[in-house]
Amino acid sequence: MVALDVCAESLMERPAADDGEPDEATIEACRRGDRRALGRVFDACAPTLERQLRAMLGLRADIEDLLQVTFVEAMRAFPGFRGESSVRTWLSRICANVAKQYLRGTDRRRRALVNLSTEADVRPGSALPSASDLVEGRQRIERFSDYLEELSPKSRAAFVLHVIEGRPTAEIAVILGLSDVAVRSRIFLARRGLLTRMREDPLLRDLCAVKGES
Amino acid sequence: MGPRCLRAGLLMEKQRSGLSEGEQVFLEEHLRGCASCRSDQRGIATLASDYRAALDRAADPGVRERALRRALDAPPAPHRATSFRLGLAVLLGTCAAGVAAMLFFVGRDGDDATVASKPVVRQGDRLVSGDLEVDGQVKAAGSGIAPATVLSTQQGALLTLGPARVGLDGGTRITWLPDASTVVVRAGRVEVELDAARAHPFKVATDRFVAEVVGTAFSVDVEQVRVSRGRVRIMAWDGATLVTALDAGQVWSVRQGVRVSTQPPPRDGATPDAIALAAPDETTACAPGNSDRRVPVTPPPYGVSATQWWAAHPFNPDLPGHVPVGGICSPEPTIDVFARHGGDLPAALAALPSGGGTLYLQPGTYDGRFTLAGKSHVHFVSPGGAVLVGGPARIAGCSRALDERSFTPCVRAQEPACTACVTSGRVSDIYFKNITFDGQGTAATAVELAAVNGVVFDGCTFENYVANDRKQPGVISGLMRPSNVWIRGSRIAASQRWGVYLNGLHGGGVVSSHLEGFSEGAILFKTHVSLIGDHDGDGRIADDEMTQSSYVVAARNTLGAPAPATRNSTGISISGANSIVEKNEFTRKLSVMTRLMGECDVTNPRVAMTSFDHVVRANRAAEAVVFVKADGTPHNCHVRGNARFFGRYRVEGNVISRRSPTLVLVEESYPAGIDGPNIIQGNVCATEPCDGLLRRRR
């Protein structure tokens, strides 16, 4: 299967995300329900969508199902795709809605937890870490994940897409159906909430300034 | 936080979208002077970066591929929710994978399929008489039958569907798929009478087989097909023919099959002529002259190198006098499973004496779902043409070992029964010869092994197995201290995540076999990360109680194409020690041809489980992205000082036919964790030496 560049990592940092969009013929084929074309477009975007779901939900066991739901919803909706945003943004929006519906369903928010590997604790470029470094590194990420869970779904989504995924706020506004100002405001609130929790946490306190310090 | 800090915070969020010159100047000046904001920014950035790295590591290509495949394989959905969509939901919710597979089957040539419109009842598809419920609504005689809905009858019904009159017994549940001229039977029994003057073909499918009408009248239930008039062909879900022609008066069933061979069955208990048919040039009964041709059960010689071990191993095809594929001698008595037990494998197994024996499988189909627990010296031998359908066949030292979740804690707690099961109680000397395992497009695993020592598959075929989400995702899966497990001269062609997935294998391998169609990789010899312990209670964890794979070999195999739409597939993956990968041929480009790594036990992180001594030599690849990936990451290992757990590999004499600009011969991942010496020599890419194509990634 030929992977399209539409969701390539390199696009993450670009303000204009439409480079590498599938051509109009491919989009038209997707609108017609051509499974090969859909497969190519989805395949190219799948890593981004998977990471977005993991960042927003963290629940490893459900990611596969939710990703499938995202694709199915996209297939259903593709005939109505008007090309007003890039395919990537459009798919991210569907993905965000799927995640939102999932969170709305139950108290799953509390259960959300990123399944972390011990590899995550090894900082690139460092010497072989000690066992205590490994444990501490893992705990810090888990704690950070917990605090992300405490944010409201919209604040978390905005923060994740902007700070973790590196998306521009204008694109996030399209994905989340908010204004650009509202997105920035939610990111700001999320950041402030996280910093508050970090300052209270002995494990994370040293990563940020103590309140009042200047 | 003062107002200036507040403004700086807001500007930081706006930064990626672009700041005005004034805003930029303000932000820079503020950050220069405000240690608090700088520190906060760094802290969030550090955690976000680590968090993103963790997400990247948690990412699973298999998850994406399965989700995408399932989405694309689903039938086209209408743009808006309609009654059809609800009906389909009921269908998928109530029916097993077979029906889902059928829907795939029906829509398979729909690459250009457009979004489905509301289904139309075809003229002539109607209820003639009897009672019928469609999605919970009772239908009157004469009502039309909508496609792809679940039809059920309490007392029985007669329908006309396309060119056929279909009688439903009471309690039958079906779905009618007119585009494929197929009735899917989920429960009960149908009788089909075809109008010979109208167009064919017409099929009746269950979740286990598809019967295609060649003649005129037959009946089908979920287990069997009985032909009244004419002729029927029985197929697997992928279209492979199971029975070419079932004639009037004949019955075929999933469990008992039908005899299609003209060879007379052997007499029970006698030296089996039929076994001689399988290998006419060899005497395979365990006569005094060939008693050394047995399934190996001795532990590997811990302490000697893997190359020494393999050089002297009787299964090494390069060793003069080696035991050839199919050359294992089989114990007496021999029981003809069809002649003696009507094809009922569990009954035949139960009839074997406690000392074991040989089950002779004459050509035909047999139910592949059976359990062999606690009985050793059992051989399954066929002259060819014996098909075990479905699966898995489960082979274990004790039945408890088949439930990993409850059995693992039991072993770790050293409960005597569980300890015995994984030590002296492992079943041994199990042999499969010339058997075809057919997953029929629904089963995920052909054979599950747990607590075994000595299992050999010779000349077997594994096909039509599909991916699943289980923890041991292989067509052949094994765990709980498997030893001496060998797959030789076999063919594995299945879209399961792994062809061979053996967890903690000591002594064993895949030799002279062909693997293709896998999604994550062809062969995985893995470390069992939760079972290490002093199983025999002698106060120490001996070599054979370590659970990294050890003394494992993949030799002289050919690896074909992975499953369609698969990305990032690995050919051979080894998490363990003392491994040999040699003389294999990789015919297709894979992301990583051979991956070597180490893992430690998650429950005993202080036990140093080293993964040294790997040899990758004399393999040939048409093309590669990364030929060997050597991963030094100390997975689960309790790191002390500069301790390294992985390394001492040799990559030599390999040939890669095409040298792409991005080709990497050896990629060392986390090189700080790799011990030496490591030798890379004599490798050729295209026509030039390429030992220098080494990449190190931290």
Chain A residues within an 8 Å CB radius of B13: 162, 169, 184, 187-188, 191
3-class DSSP state of B140: coil
B429-443 confidence digits (pLDDT tens): 999 999 999 998 889
As a whole number of angstroms, the distance between CA B47 and CA B169 comes to 65
Query: Are the beta carbons of B222 and B207 closer than 8 angstroms?
Result: yes
Query: To the nearest 10°, the Cα dihedral for B666, B670, B673, B678?
Result: 10
How far, in Å, CA of B29 to CA of B11, rounded?
12
Give the tens place of pLDDT for each residue, B682-695. Answer: 999 998 999 999 99
Give the pLDDT confidence of B522-554 residue by residue, as tens digits.
999 999 888 888 887 788 888 888 889 999 999
Q: Do B50 and A47 touch (CB under 8 A)?
A: no
Question: B51, B73, B527: best mutation site toward chain A, by most A Cβ within 10 Å?
Answer: B51
DSSP B281: T
Are the CB atoms for B68 and B565 separated by under 8 Å?
A: yes
* Nearest C-alpha in B relative to A195: B40
Rounded distance, CA A158 to CA B569, Å? Answer: 34
Strand partners, B483: B453, B506
Location of structure tokens 């001689």:
B276
Among residues 105-124 of chain B, which lie with CB inside 8 Å of chain A?
110-115
- Whether A169 and B16 lie within 8 Å, measured CB to CB: yes
Pairwise CA distance, residues B425 & A46, whole Å: 46
Strands B364-367 and B393-396: unpaired
Phi, psi of B645 (to 5 degrees): -115, -10
Q: Quote the CA–CA distance of B628 and B685 in Å, as a whole number.
A: 13
Cross-strand partners of B49: none
What's the mean per-residue pLDDT of chain B? 79
Place of tokens 């009688």: B167
Query: C-alpha distances in angstroms, B276 versus B273, B315, B329?
Result: 5, 21, 11
ipTM greater than 0.90: no
> Residue A47 and residue B51: Cβ atoms within 8 Å?
no
Contacts of B27 in chain A (CB under 8 A): none
- A8 vs B: CB within 8 A: no
Interface contact B112-A55, CB threshold 8 A: no
Q: What contacts B328, CB < 8 A, 6 or more positions away? A: B284, B293, B294, B295, B379, B431, B433, B456, B458
Q: Do residues B435 and B382 touch, judged by C-beta distance below 8 A?
A: yes
B351 touches chain A (CB under 8 A): no
Query: What is the nearest CA distance from A60 to chain B, expressed in angstroms?
Result: 8
Region A177-205 average pLDDT: 82
Partners of residue B48 in chain A, C-beta under 8 Å? 163-164
Q: Is the CB of A195 inside 8 Å of chain B's CB atoms? A: yes
For the stretch B472-489, pLDDT in tens is 689 999 999 999 999 999
What is the C-alpha separation between B218 and B212, in angstroms, rounded?
A: 10
Query: Does A55 sit within 8 Å of B63, measured CB to CB?
Result: no
Smallest Cβ distance to A35: which of B42, B72, B77?
B72
**What are the residue ranges of helices labelled H in B95-218?**
97-106
Residues 6+ apart with CB under 8 A from B552: B502, B505, B507, B508, B509, B525, B574, B576, B578, B579, B580
**Which residues 111-150 of A are in CB contact (within 8 Å) with B?**
114-120, 122-125, 127-131, 134, 137, 140-141, 144-145, 148
Establish, for the pair of chains A and B, how many residue pairs have beta carbons separated by less than 8 Å.
205
For B549, the token pair is 């794979």
Cβ-count burial A85-120 (b if 16+ within 10 Å, e if not): bbbbbbbbbbbbbbbbebbeeeeebeebebbbebbb
Closest of B579, B673, B572, B676 to residue B626, by C-alpha: B572
SS3 B208: coil
| Residue B68, Ramachandran bin (φ over 0: left; ψ between -120 and 50: alpha; else beta) | alpha
For A88-141, what is each residue's pLDDT tens digit?
Answer: 888 988 888 888 777 765 444 433 333 333 333 333 343 444 455 556 677 777
> Is A38 close to B469, i.e. CB distance below 8 A?
no
Residue in this structure with the two tokens 């989920």, named with its chain if needed: B186
Closest CB to A134: pick one of B112, B639, B673. Answer: B639
Residue the block writes with tokens 């430690």: B600
- The residue type at B39: S
Q: What is the pLDDT of residue B552?
A: 97
* Residue of A48, A68, A181 to mutate when probing chain B, most B C-beta within 10 A: A68
For the segment B139-182, what is each residue's pLDDT rounded down to a tens digit?
A: 888 888 877 677 889 888 988 888 888 889 888 888 787 767 77
